[in-house]
Amino acid sequence: MKELKTPYFMLDKAVLDEGVQNLKESLKNAWGNYIIGYSYKTNALPWVIKYFRDHGIYAEVVSDDEFNLAMSIGVRKSELIYNGIAKSKETFLEAVKNHAIVNIDAEYEIDWLDELSSSETAGNEQYEVGIRINFDLESRCPGHSQCPEDGGRFGFCYENGEFKRAFDRVVSKGIKVAGIHLHKSSKTRMPAVYKAIAEVAVEIGEKYGLDLSYVDIGGGFFGGLDFKPQFPEYFDMVADILKEYFTPEKTTLIVEPGNALIASPIEYHTTVLDVKETIHNTFVVTDGSRTQIDPLMTKSSYFHKIVRCGNGKTLTDAGRVLKKQVVCGFTCMEHDRLFELDDTEELKPGDQIIYQKVGAYTMCLTPLFIKWFPDVYLKDGDELSLIRDRWTDMDYKGNNTVESEV
């Protein structure tokens, strides 16, 4: 791997396989009747989404672009979960007509249902949709919500009656409400968040006497970290609560992981290019960038390892121990600084820094800033294969129209 041109991403298939198997086992043991939908927005690399399709995992998409991507790799419309507020009318109706799991998240989507005749049937079954529910997570789970003061913005509010009004509107059009979607973004990803989700599902089910085909608790779980909650800690607890009203025989439990499956299997390999000494710091310049593994610029540390091979040095050679080294990226932005090394042997050009567990919200959010997308390799046992070639100027120009040369 040292001979590969950095920077590049490396996907370890064995780690991915293990995560999928652990998730399936935990859901099987907790509820039995389940559907997993992989969140495309987390990482929609074509090899990745095809892998999940081949392993019986639904495509969880949130826009017409993601919908069309799923169709392009052969995902059946009946194995699609369509969420979010970026659906197009055309793909929304196509999904409903073809019995995808469609969770309504906006008033205009209810209006779109008028395009479906209340008497129209497919296979002698009514058309069905689900409804995303907005509820006050902070009041039920203090300290865990992302927006404690303003509240979440997705779904129809349960507490003020908006959910019930939306429910009644859908039913009045001759469409069945088959499920509820309760995904909540949180600061902590802790089981307490999913306890609140399950409790709200039961509360709403009992209050309105709902007969549901599914309860969708969304995603956001930890995965692949031994020191964080494991899958059974989430799903055993959720199952115990849901059983107060729902049964596995009648109601499918849907989960929509992204980070929990794809973060751990992927590494980002970089090489030290230069070392600069100033009166303030030792700056280690690499061919990687914070923009490619932390596009939102929020992290100050990463799982990483260092492979020392610079300037012909061997692993047994001792170097100076420096009080502080600031590891930086290739861009011209001063804040393209990834992390600091304290009281560590000096890094030299040619040394490699490998960032671990960086498969979530990296490739899909990486900007085309200064350098284009890097290579992506697959590690399958002892074999390596290129699953995405780094972009060139031809890829960048793509569908652009440029003036002819003079």
User: What does the pLDDT look like over 135-176, one tens digit per residue?
Assistant: 999 999 998 888 888 888 999 999 999 999 999 999 999 999
pLDDT band of residue 284 (cuts 50, 70, 90) is: very high
The answer to whether residue 118 scores a pLDDT higher than 50 is no
Structure confidence at residue 300 (pLDDT):
84
Question: Residue with structure tokens 């909540």?
Answer: 184
Structure confidence at residue 311 (pLDDT):
59
- Over residues 60-69, the mean pLDDT reads 98
Contact partners, residue 383, CB within 8 Å, separation at least 6: none
- Over residues 245-256, the mean pLDDT reads 98
Condensed to tens digits (0 to 9), the pLDDT of residues 390-400 reads 999 999 999 89
- Over residues 243-265, the mean pLDDT reads 97
**Ramachandran angles phi, psi of 234, nearest 5°:** -80, -55
Question: Residue with structure tokens 């030792």?
Answer: 282
Structure confidence at residue 308 (pLDDT):
92
Structure confidence at residue 27 (pLDDT):
98
Structure confidence at residue 119 (pLDDT):
44
Structure confidence at residue 238 (pLDDT):
98
**Alpha helices of 77-117 — where are they, by DSSP H?**
89-97, 107-112
- Over residues 256-283, the mean pLDDT reads 96
- Over residues 325-329, the mean pLDDT reads 97
The answer to whether residue 336 scores a pLDDT higher than 60 is yes
Sort strands 58-63 and 34-39 into parallel, antiparallel or unpaired: parallel
Closest to 254 in 3D by CA, of 72, 38, 402: 38
Which domains are seen in the chain, by residue range?
31-262 (3.20.20.10), 265-397 (2.40.37.10)
Structure confidence at residue 152 (pLDDT):
87
Bridge partners, 303 (sequence order): none
| Mean pLDDT of all residues belonging to the chain | 93
Q: What percent of the chain has pLDDT over 70?
A: 94
Q: Greater confidence, 406 or 14?
A: 14
Q: Which helix (H) or strand (E) holds 129?
A: strand 128-134
Closest to 198 in 3D by CA, of 246, 266, 261, 233: 246
- Over residues 95-115, the mean pLDDT reads 96
Bridge partners, 104 (sequence order): 131
Q: What percent of the chain has pLDDT over 90?
A: 85
Condensed to tens digits (0 to 9), the pLDDT of residues 288-326 reads 999 999 988 888 899 999 999 865 555 455 678 999 999
Cα 124 to Cα 78, 97, 115, 213, distances in angstroms: 16, 12, 18, 17
Structure confidence at residue 281 (pLDDT):
94
Give the separation between CA 206 and CA 204, rounded to whole angstroms. 5
Q: What angle do CA 88, 92, 95 make, to 5 degrees?
A: 140
Contact partners, residue 8, CB within 8 Å, separation at least 6: 268, 269, 374, 375, 376, 377, 390
CB 135, CB 200: distance < 8 Å: yes
pLDDT band of residue 406 (cuts 50, 70, 90) is: very low
Give the separation between CA 28 and CA 7, rounded to whole angstroms. 39
- Over residues 332-339, the mean pLDDT reads 95
Structure confidence at residue 333 (pLDDT):
95
Q: Which helix (H) or strand (E) holds 170?
A: helix 162-172
Strand runs labelled E in 212-300: 214-216, 252-255, 266-277, 282-286
pTM of the model: 0.93
Closest to 231 in 3D by CA, of 208, 211, 251, 255: 255
